Structure 1
Amino acid sequence: MRWKAIFVASLLSLSSLALAQSAPTGKIFRYADGGSATYYQFQPSQEQSQSSDTYIFFYGGTGCVDFKPYIPKFFSGLDSNSTIFALNKRKVEEGSSPNTCSPEFAKFDLPQQWFSDYMEFITEELGRAKIKPKNVVIVGISEGAYPAVKVARSRSDITNLVIIGDGGGWTMRKSLEKLTSPSYVQDGWATIATDSGSTTRTWLGRPYRWWFDIMDIDSLPDYLSLNIPILMGHGELDQGVPVESAIALQKAFQAAGKSNLTLHIYKGADHTLTSGQVSNRESLFAELSKSLKH
Structure 2
Amino acid sequence: FILQKRFIEEDRRGRASGCTDAFVKADHPAQWIADQQEFIRQQIERASAQHCLPARVVIAGASEGAEIVPVLARRIPETTHAVLIGNGGMAPIDAYRLQLERRSVLDARAILKRIALEPADPDALDNLIGGRTWRYWAELTMLRPGNDLLGLTIPVWVAMGGEDQAVPVASALYLRDLFAAHDKSNLTLAIYPGADHALFANSHPNLVDWWLAFDRAMGR
Structure 1 unaligned spans of 5+:
1-84
Q: Which residue of 2 aligns with 1:92?
A: 8
Cα deviation, 1:156-184, whole Å, max 9, x if unaligned, reads: 1011111011111x223322332233995
2:23 corresponds to which residue?
105
Equivalent-residue separation in structure 2 for 1:293 and 1:242 (angstroms): 32
Q: 1:204 and 1:158, CA in 2 relative to 1: closer, same or farther beyond 3 A?
A: same
Question: In the TM superposition, what is the alpha-carbon distance from 1:207 to its structure 2 partner?
Answer: 3.1
Question: Does the 8 Å contact 1:199/1:210 carry over to 2?
Answer: no
**Equivalent of residue 111 in structure 2, options 167, 174, 188:** 188
1:164-203 aligned within 5 A: 164-168=85-89, 170-181=90-101, 184-192=107-115, 193=117, 195=119, 197-200=122-125, 201-203=127-129
Report the structure, 1 or 2, having the larger strand content: 1
Which residue of 2 is the match for residue 252 of structure 1?
A: 178
State the alpha-carbon separation in 2 of the partners of residues 153 and 194 from structure 1. 29
Deviation at 1:248, TM superposition (A): 0.8
1:273 aligned residue (196, 199, 208): 199
Q: Aligned to 1:285, which of 211, 214, 218?
A: 211
Query: In structure 2, what is the Cα distance between the partners aligned to 1:92 and 1:178?
Result: 29
Question: In structure 2, how many angstroms separate the alpha carbons of the residues matched to 1:293 and 1:95?
Answer: 38
Within a 5 Å distance, the mapping from 1:123-272 to structure 2 comes to 123-129=41-47, 130=50, 131-168=52-89, 170-181=90-101, 184-192=107-115, 193=117, 195=119, 197-200=122-125, 201-272=127-198
Query: Are the structure 2 counterparts of residues 171 and 136 from structure 1 closer, same or farther at C-alpha, using a change threshold of 3 Å?
Result: same
How many residue pairs get aligned? The number is: 209
1:277/1:284 CA distance change after superposition, 3 Å: same
Q: Is the CA contact 1:173–1:185 (under 8 Å) kept in the aligned structure 2?
A: no
Identical residues among aligned pairs (%): 34
SS at match of 2:34: helix
Measured in 2, the distance between the counterparts of 1:116 and 1:256 equals: 30
Structure 1: distance between partners of 2:24 and 2:124? 6
TM-score (norm 2): 0.87
- How far has the Cα of 1:272 moved from its partner? 1.3
Segment of structure 1 superposing worse, 227-236 or 180-189: 180-189
Q: Is the 8 A contact 1:126 1:132 kept in 2?
A: yes
RMSD of the TM alignment (CA)?
2.0
Cα distance in 2 for partners of 1:267, 1:252 equals 21
Alpha-carbon distance between aligned partners in 2 of 1:199 and 1:106, rounded to the nearest angstrom: 10
Higher deviation after alignment, 190-199 or 268-277: 190-199
CA distance in 2, matches of 1:220, 1:149: 8
TM-score by length of 1: 0.66
